[in-house]
Structure 1
Amino acid sequence: MSLRTSRMPQEPLRRRSLTDASVVAFGPLEPVALPVLAVPQRPGVPLTMWVRANAELVRERLHQHGAVLFRGFEEGADALRPVVEAVGGDGALAYQDGATPRSELGEGIYSSTEYPADQTIEMHNEACYSWSWPRVLGFACALPSETGGQTPLADSRKVLRRLPADLVARLERQGVRYVRNYTPGVGIPWQEALGCDESGLDAYAEQTRVRVERVADDHLRTEALRPAVARHPDTGEWVWFNQATSFHLSTIGDELAAELLGQVGSERVPKTSRAGDGSEFSRAELDAIRAAFAAESTAFDWQLGDVLVVDNLLASHGRAPFTGKRQIRVAMAAAANWEDVEARPALDGAQAGTTTHIKGERR
């Protein structure tokens, strides 16, 4: 596939600097609409240096499309962290308040979520269940899988427009409540997930606006009430920005969910989501959200050295099942929190009548 880029006749492309904006061309990654593809127009274009010199241009493409795939650059996956930092405008972020297992591969670089290869990871926006989250995500392919293993993407603006109006209105009023239960031998230990020990629980609760409850000596529970819809601070567009489905118990499938409930009971399920008022989501509501994601999702096959940059507010992502030794690296930048964006429900509205969103408490 050839991509056209504007060239000035009086200055042939081969004479231009390797960091000139025109030596990288943007165009469609056929046959999918997302992400937009960026490829070098001459050998030896240094991806890291080019992105640093043209970070604003990359951000413009991100705001337009939601995700940019850099392909065909010699640096390959090694460019991940500096590219993400250049686009984000600050240093790479540590993976904190994690709800899924990852391995740290180097400072600021992590493995993609370490779920079994035969499982699907549902569409989600990174860490939006937390008080703070990255605005920019980066993925890099160090080893493509033999089959499958795509990282599907969906435009969060289009997902919001596709959802039933009554469902959107409900969650715009109530938000989404994320519930996590930490018990020995089930899921991630709370000390690892929360990044503190017993003496740090009160500070964690206050800093992250999470309610922390000591249910029993072997059982810690957290509840976080977050908005469901946010407004992108740069584009002004409203987006679907929550993990109502991917955090929900049903994400592991009916059979595994029933087995887990039988083993630990509903009060000790490692994680699940509810509507902000504490009520359970109906099957119809969960199905409607998943149908909207399915209708808007696109997927491409990873190639060795690919670097994908995603605006976390504008595009959700997931993972398809795969075979073989898949190695996708992840980096994050541009820390933000819920006070940095306009949201629905607004923070004041979400706080009304409850202390769980304002300040956690331990008992």
Structure 2
Amino acid sequence: MLFKLLRQSYWKSSSQATWMKMRHSYRAERYRDYSTSYLKHDGPVPPLSVPVQLAGRKFLPGSWHHQFPQQLNNPQSDFPHVVTPSNTTDTAKLSLTDWATVVRQYLDDNLTKYGAILVRSLPIQNEAHFSHLVSQLKYNPQSYKGGLGYRQQKLTNVMTASDEPKEYSIELHNEMAYLPNWADLIIFYCKTPPALGYGGHTCIAKVSDYVDRLGQDIIQPFLKRGVRYQCHLFSQDSIPNAYLTWQQSFQTKEKAEVEEFCTNAGYTYKWDDSENLTYYIDLPAAVNHSKTNQLSWFNQIYQHTPTYTVEHPSFENIDIPLDKHLCQCYYGDGGKISEDTLFRMRSINWQVAVGFEWQTGDLLFLDNVLVQHSRLSFEGPRKIFVSIMNY
């Protein structure tokens, strides 16, 4: 009824109605032309040219499990969704700032639909170009303070994707899901692709595909009880191995800054006599998407446990108690999660993952709530950079 009253008052004169219809038509036409003239979708990403072994892969956690898939899946028909510049004279005239406007509009229209969009053949030759493009996309940068991955800040809004040892495979995950302030958008830029047959794939998985296979016996307890993420970070002065320190994670050497961060974020924390830090937070296993408001499974349950770190090269010859490993994960009420559940979860997750082969200059845009990502071990050169953003 309210909508009808608004509509009747809005179109009270025929001349005004005619003008408004023309204005709406002009805007729609301009919007439609703008979003389709510069980027085109040519079809699916090509299948993997070289099979990629998963089962039994060294330093890939759980790859020995009986449910673990033998090989990585090929891309799906529209996952990732790939676009390239249209073959027009106007396209060649676009600056990086222009391309940022084009790409931003395409993402606004399509990213929540596809989850992963691969943009190829833009005029991006280095991380400085990437930094400029990302800055012009006008998203909100997400701080990585409190993050648990090895990364280096390179330029504005640009970090190395990962500085983990190249022989290690990073598991599928939603970025920063163990934090109360996670990221909405992950943007990868490929400067140097790994050679074919030498690994280094950035694998991705739809969260919806993963959840469809998990089963209610796994899902419901986490939905009801929540998830507790606990971390133990050694001080740089006492660490017995080469893994992450609290100084690296929180990007400071001041304990007071760490305590302020933990208090503001809602962590429970404590220091031991050697100034090592243990802290935890209880979070839900699913969140509402910031744009669609739809509930989505969003967590890092099996990745946030010693079953992840014990198969890391840094821990290969280190003997420390499991409760001193980087991460622990429990049900939100403190209950223990069985190892059978953890290994079933990671095996099922890899069953739905797909891979593609990087090309120089590729940009991969991921909705972080809808899509997980990972990195397989590799040999030889490989340079991938990342930008972490919010809508």
TM score, norm. by length of structure 2: 0.74
Read off the aligned partner of 1:264 and give its amino acid letter.
Answer: I
2:273 matched to 1:228? no
Distance, in Å, in 2 between the alignment partners of 1:48 and 1:280 is 50
Q: Hey, what does 2:14 align to over in structure 1?
A: none
1:282 and 1:311, CA in 2 relative to 1: closer, same or farther beyond 3 A?
Answer: same
Q: Hey, what does 1:8 align to over in structure 2?
A: none
For residues 326-354 of structure 1, the C-alpha deviation after alignment (integer angstroms, 9 at most, x for no partner) is 1100111117xxxxxxxxxxxxxxxxxxx
Q: Percent of aligned pairs with the same residue?
A: 23
1:83 and 1:298, CA in 2 relative to 1: closer, same or farther beyond 3 A?
Answer: farther
Q: Hey, what does 1:342 align to over in structure 2?
A: none
Q: Hey, what does 2:222 align to over in structure 1?
A: 171
2:276 matched to 1:219? yes
Helix, strand or coil at the partner of 1:52: helix
Helix, strand or coil at the partner of 1:302: coil
Q: Hey, what does 2:116 align to over in structure 1?
A: 67
Tell me which of 305, 324, 333 is aligned to 1:268: 324
Helix, strand or coil at the partner of 1:323: coil
Q: Hey, what does 1:294 align to over in structure 2?
A: 350
2:205 matched to 1:154? yes
Helix, strand or coil at the partner of 1:100: coil
Q: Hey, what does 2:99 align to over in structure 1?
A: 50
Distance, in Å, in 1 between the alignment partners of 2:136 and 2:285 is 29
Aligned-pair distance for 1:195? Answer: 3.6
For residues 289-318 of structure 1, the C-alpha deviation after alignment (integer angstroms, 9 at most, x for no partner) is 113311221110111111111111110100
2:256 matched to 1:199? yes
1:181 and 1:76, CA in 2 relative to 1: closer, same or farther beyond 3 A?
Answer: same
Aligned-pair distance for 1:38? Answer: 0.9
Alignment of 1:76-155 (within 5 A): 76-78=125-127, 79-85=129-135, 89-146=138-195, 147-155=198-206
Distance, in Å, in 1 between the alignment partners of 2:280 and 2:145 is 16
Q: Hey, what does 2:265 align to over in structure 1?
A: 208
2:341 matched to 1:285? yes
Aligned-pair distance for 1:64? Answer: 0.8
Greater shift, 303-312 or 176-185, is seen at: 176-185
Please tell me whether the aligned partners of residues 40 and 83 of structure 2 are also in contact (alpha carbons under 8 angstroms).
Answer: yes
Distance, in Å, in 1 between the alignment partners of 2:116 and 2:312 is 34
Please tell me whether the aligned partners of residues 94 and 108 of structure 1 are also in contact (alpha carbons under 8 angstroms).
Answer: no
Q: Hey, what does 2:82 align to over in structure 1?
A: 37
Distance, in Å, in 1 between the alignment partners of 2:277 and 2:103 is 47
Over aligned residues, Cα RMSD in angstroms? 2.6
Distance, in Å, in 1 between the alignment partners of 2:219 and 2:135 is 34
1:274 and 1:65, CA in 2 relative to 1: closer, same or farther beyond 3 A?
Answer: same
Please tell me whether the aligned partners of residues 85 and 333 of structure 1 are also in contact (alpha carbons under 8 angstroms).
Answer: no
Read off the aligned partner of 1:327 and give its amino acid letter.
Answer: K
Higher strand share: 1
Segments of structure 1 that go 5 or more residues without pairing to the other structure are: 1-17, 336-363
Please tell me whether the aligned partners of residues 157 and 238 of structure 1 are also in contact (alpha carbons under 8 angstroms).
Answer: no
Please tell me whether the aligned partners of residues 46 and 73 of structure 1 are also in contact (alpha carbons under 8 angstroms).
Answer: no
Segments of structure 2 that go 5 or more residues without pairing to the other structure are: 1-32, 48-74
1:82 and 1:280, CA in 2 relative to 1: closer, same or farther beyond 3 A?
Answer: farther
Read off the aligned partner of 1:281 and give its amino acid letter.
Answer: I
2:80 matched to 1:24? no
2:293 matched to 1:243? no
1:143 and 1:76, CA in 2 relative to 1: closer, same or farther beyond 3 A?
Answer: same
Q: Hey, what does 1:309 align to over in structure 2?
A: 365
Distance, in Å, in 2 between the alignment partners of 1:275 and 1:129 is 13
1:48 and 1:154, CA in 2 relative to 1: closer, same or farther beyond 3 A?
Answer: farther
Aligned-pair distance for 1:161? Answer: 2.2
Q: Hey, what does 1:330 align to over in structure 2?
A: 386
Distance, in Å, in 2 between the alignment partners of 1:298 and 1:207 is 38
1:49 and 1:64, CA in 2 relative to 1: closer, same or farther beyond 3 A?
Answer: same
For residues 5-60 of structure 1, the C-alpha deviation after alignment (integer angstroms, 9 at most, x for no partner) is xxxxxxxxxxxxx9663221124224412210011122625564234145233123
Please tell me whether the aligned partners of residues 124 and 130 of structure 2 are also in contact (alpha carbons under 8 angstroms).
Answer: no
